[in-house]
Amino acid sequence: MIKTRYLLLGLGLLFATLTFLSFYFYWQENKGILEEITLQAEADAVKFAQTHDQNDCLTKVIEQSNDCRDSNCTVGLKQFFYTCFKNAKLSDQVCYKVPETSDYMAKVSWATSTCRKAKVKNGVCNNIINELPLLCHQKSS
């Protein structure tokens, strides 16, 4: 009879191998699409940022995240938000009440409450605006 530890070790190795292969094949299939989405998001963000401030970038990303359901969309919105935030007019209120980057629980709580106030109930919104504390920290440095 196979010892339990060898069985668990074998299952763990099988899981790790299958996980690696799934990411590898996903990347091979979607690399071009993700690059295209990223470039389009950057172009859209630069154009949007010319006439808007950083708070408008945050608002737009929260609104767009309501319809976002897949990883390609999430990648595009994250890139849009980052590029828009870097190129838009400065806004003092966008970083007001944003928690410190080192306080993980406060960041999660803040992101969740911000998305719920905007009536966005999917996890994409939290995932995207969770980047804001880092952007605000970089802005103040």
Give percent of the chain above pLDDT 70.
97
Decide which of 91 and 15 is more confident: 15
pLDDT at 96: 87
Residue type for 123, please? Answer: G
Question: How many CB atoms are located within 10 Å of the residue 99 CB?
Answer: 17
pLDDT at 123: 85
Mean pLDDT, the chain, integer: 91
**Per-residue pLDDT at 115 exceeds 70:** yes
> What is the pTM assigned to this prediction?
0.81
**Per-residue pLDDT at 1 exceeds 70:** no
Average pLDDT over residues 111-137: 90
**Per-residue pLDDT at 140 exceeds 80:** no
**Per-residue pLDDT at 141 exceeds 70:** no
Decide which of 130 and 140 is more confident: 130
**Per-residue pLDDT at 41 exceeds 90:** yes
Average pLDDT over residues 65-94: 92
The pLDDT-based confidence of 49 (bands split at 50, 70, 90) is: very high
